[in-house]
């Protein structure tokens, strides 16, 4: 029987995390991955095109390899969806930092437990963040992030006055159509 093909997937949240991506690529190559899919995109993004490509690429008997669980899934539900797709195709999952391999019953159990713990930790972090924001607001120290489009309201109105249409304003300023319409409506 031939040995399984190892397919790697690496992801960082931003382009500023070059070193993290390079470390993942190095680890995946050292693990023996013959093909590696990589992307610089937030895990909360609706689409992760390279992950989708990796999930399409893998074939029965292959092993999808990631360095860490959080590089692959954003929640337990996401993890269940991804592992379900892998299982349908007869593909196993290996997480290097955990020495976890879903081809074993223990690996499957550990993956589910770790996914639940990761989601729990994320919920706690978000709760602490909300509490911190509420406290800062109560003390008058929190103003929040200024909406990007609102900072460009003057430029929107100037371009409109120059005879530019909405698509031209969107292109020139890099803001959404909805933002342009909202600014124009507020100014009317």
Name the residues annotated as catalytic.
13
Strand pairing partners for 101?
94
H helices of the chain, in order, are: 18-30, 49-57, 76-88, 105-138, 148-151, 153-161, 166-173, 177-187
Spatial CA neighbour of 35 closest among 56, 18, 17 = 56
Q: How far apart are CA 35 and CA 55, in angstroms?
A: 12
CA distances from 110 to 84, 89, 97, 101 (A): 16, 21, 13, 9
CA distances from 140 to 134, 143, 144 (A): 10, 8, 11
Neighbours of 127 (CB within 10 A): 10
* Number of residues written out for the chain: 188
Q: Which residues contact 112 (CB under 8 A, 6 or more apart)?
A: 76
Q: How far apart are CA 188 and CA 186, in angstroms?
A: 6
């Amino acid at each position: 029987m031939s040995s399984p093909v190892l397919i790697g997937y690496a992801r960082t949240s931003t382009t500023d995390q070059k070193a993290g991506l390079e470390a993942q690529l190095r680890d995946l190559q050292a693990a023996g991955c013959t093909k590696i899919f990589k992307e610089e995109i937030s895990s909360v993004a609706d689409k992760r095109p390279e992950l989708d490509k990796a999930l399409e690429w893998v074939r029965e008997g292959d092993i999808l390899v990631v360095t860490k669980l959080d590089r692959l899934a954003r929640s337990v539900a996401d993890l269940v969806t991804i592992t379900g797709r892998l299982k349908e195709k007869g593909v196993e999952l290996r997480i290097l930092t955990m020495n976890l391999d879903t081809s074993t019953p223990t690996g499957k159990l550990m993956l589910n437990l770790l996914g639940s713990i990761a989601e729990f930790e994320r919920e706690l972090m978000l709760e602490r963040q909300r509490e911190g924001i509420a406290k800062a607001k109560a003390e008058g120290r929190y103003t929040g992030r200024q909406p990007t489009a609102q900072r460009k309201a003057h430029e929107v109105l100037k371009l409109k006055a120059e005879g530019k249409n909405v698509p031209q304003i969107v292109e020139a300023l890099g803001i959404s159509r909805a933002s342009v319409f909202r600014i124009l409506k507020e100014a009317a």
